[in-house]
C-alpha cells in the first residue's frame, strides 16, 4: 500500500492524459474516478494535463446559484467558453490549453484528517516551489487578496499568485483516506486568465471581480514557451515523484 506521511509524498504512477479521457468524462467525474482507482488499487496516481478555454468551479456552485446551468449553456453557445465543476472546494479558476493542472491521488492513514491536511498542502506546495526554483523563481505559500480562488496555500511570487491548490478527502477504510491534491500552475497571460474568471462572475450576476495585478504566470518570469514549461514540469514530476 502506498501511503503519504507528514514528511513525504508517496511514489506515484504517472497517467498519460492521452489515455485518460479527462475532457470526455468531465472534470468532476474524472476526479471521482481517480479517487476510486486509488482506493480500489491501493496505489498513488498522478495526472498532469491542460484544459480548454473556460473556468473550473466547485460542484457546489450548481446548488448555490439558481442560474448556473443557464450561464453554463449561454457561455458555451456564445463564446465556446466551458464551465467545468470539480470535487474540491474554493472558488473559480481559469482553464486554458496553457494552464497546467496537477492531480495527485494517494492514501493517508490518520484518525484525524483535519489535523494532517495542512501537511499535505505543504507537500504539494513544496513540489511546485521546487520546480519553480529550477527556473530561478522564488515562490512562497501565502494568501493573495484580490486574486481568484484565494487561499492560504497559494504560491506567490513577489506577492502575486502563480499557483492555486485544493484538496478533496474521501474515506477509504478505518483511519484511512484517499486524498485528491490538486494544483493549478498559471501559464500564459495573467490578464487573460483573470478576464476569464471575471467573465464568469459577471455572467453569473455576482459583484465579485478579481484584480489582474494580483496574479502572474510562469512565462512572465522565464523565457520559456507554454509547451516547454509543460514538458519541463512533466519531466520534473516524473523524475522526482513517479515510478521509473
Least Cα distance to 97 among 229, 216, 222 occurs for 229
Q: How far apart are CA 189 and CA 193, in angstroms?
A: 6
Q: Which residue has the higher pLDDT, 208 or 24?
A: 208
| pLDDT at residue 27, as a whole number | 85
| Residue 73 buriedness (CB in 10 A; 0-12 / 13-18 / 19+) | exposed
CATH classification code of 13-241: 3.30.930.10
**Domain extent listing, the chain:** 13-241
Question: What pTM did the predictor assign?
Answer: 0.94
Pairing of strands 93-95, 54-58: antiparallel
| pLDDT at residue 3, as a whole number | 52
Average pLDDT over residues 8-21: 89
Measure CA 35 to chain center. Answer: 15
User: What is the length of the chain?
Assistant: 244
Average pLDDT over residues 231-243: 97
Amino acid at each position: 500500500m502506498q501511503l503519504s506521511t507528514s514528511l513525504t509524498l508517496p511514489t506515484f504512477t504517472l497517467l498519460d492524459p492521452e489515455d485518460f479521457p479527462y475532457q470526455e468524462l468531465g472534470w468532476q467525474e474524472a476526479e471521482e474516478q481517480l479517487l476510486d482507482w486509488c482506493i480500489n488499487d491501493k496505489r498513488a496516481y498522478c495526472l498532469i494535463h491542460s484544459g480548454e478555454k473556460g473556468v473550473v468551479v466547485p460542484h457546489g456552485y450548481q446548488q448555490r446559484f439558481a442560474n448556473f446551468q443557464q450561464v453554463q449553456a449561454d457561455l458555451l453557445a456564445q463564446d465556446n467558453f466551458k464551465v467545468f465543476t470539480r470535487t474540491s472546494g474554493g472558488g473559480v479558476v481559469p482553464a486554458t490549453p496553457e494552464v497546467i493542472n496537477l492531480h495527485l491521488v494517494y492514501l493517508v492513514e490518520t484518525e484525524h484528517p483535519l489535523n494532517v491536511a495542512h501537511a499535505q498542502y505543504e507537500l504539494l506546495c513544496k513540489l511546485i516551489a521546487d520546480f519553480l526554483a529550477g527556473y530561478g523563481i522564488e515562490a512562497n505559500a501565502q494568501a493573495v487578496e484580490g486574486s481568484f480562488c484565494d487561499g492560504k496555500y497559494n504560491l506567490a511570487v513577489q506577492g502575486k499568485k502563480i499557483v492555486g491548490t485544493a484538496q478533496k478527502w474521501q474515506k477509504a477504510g478505518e483511519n484511512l483516506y484517499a486524498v485528491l491534491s490538486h494544483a493549478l500552475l498559471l501559464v500564459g497571460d495573467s490578464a487573460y486568465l483573470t478576464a476569464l474568471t471575471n467573465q464568469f462572475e459577471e455572467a453569473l450576476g455576482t459583484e465579485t471581480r478579481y484584480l489582474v495585478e494580483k496574479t502572474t504566470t510562469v512565462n512572465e518570469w522565464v523565457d520559456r514557451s507554454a509547451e516547454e514549461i509543460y514538458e519541463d514540469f512533466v519531466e520534473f514530476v516524473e523524475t522526482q515523484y513517479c515510478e521509473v
